[in-house]
Structure formats: structure tokens, C-alpha cells
Amino acid sequence: MTEALRVCVELAGRSIEAGVAYFTHRGALTTAFRYSHDYLRLPGAYELDPALPLYQG
């Protein structure tokens, strides 16, 4: 089963959706993250974690 969680950050004083985290439970928990296209286009967009470089994939 896969669950999705919208991830929002504060940027320039506004709450912005940065992307979506996907959690899959198949014996073990795995996680994937996808930045939103709109977030990546913002001038102040930043990596949420060093393991999550800024690209859409």
C-alpha cells in the first residue's frame, strides 16, 4: 500500500507546497519524494535535505 503526504515549506513568508512524499509498506517501509514543478521554478527554492537534490524526477 502506498500513501502520499504533501510537504509544505515557508518561503518568503508564504506556505508553499514543495512536493509529495510517497510511503510504501511492503514488509519494509520505503520512501520516495518528488518536488513540485512550481516549487522548483521559485527563485528561493531550497533542498529540503542534502539527500534530496533540487530536480524533478
Note the pTM of the prediction, 2 decimals.
0.84
> Looking at the domain assignment, is residue 22 inside a domain?
yes
Residue 53 lies in a domain: no
Domain encompassing residue 32: 2-41
Q: Report how many domains make up the chain.
A: 1
> Is 34 contained in some domain?
yes
Q: Say if 49 falls within a structural domain.
A: no
Q: Are strands 2-11 and 28-35 parallel, antiparallel or unpaired?
A: unpaired
Q: Is 57 inside a domain boundary?
A: no
Tens-place pLDDT, residues 1-34: 889 999 999 988 999 999 999 999 988 999 999 9
Residue 12, pLDDT score: 86
Note whether residue 18 is domain-resident.
yes
Please answer whether residues 14 and 37 qualify as being in contact, where contact means their C-beta atoms are separated by less than 8 angstroms.
Answer: no
- Calpha distance 24→28 (Å, rounded): 8
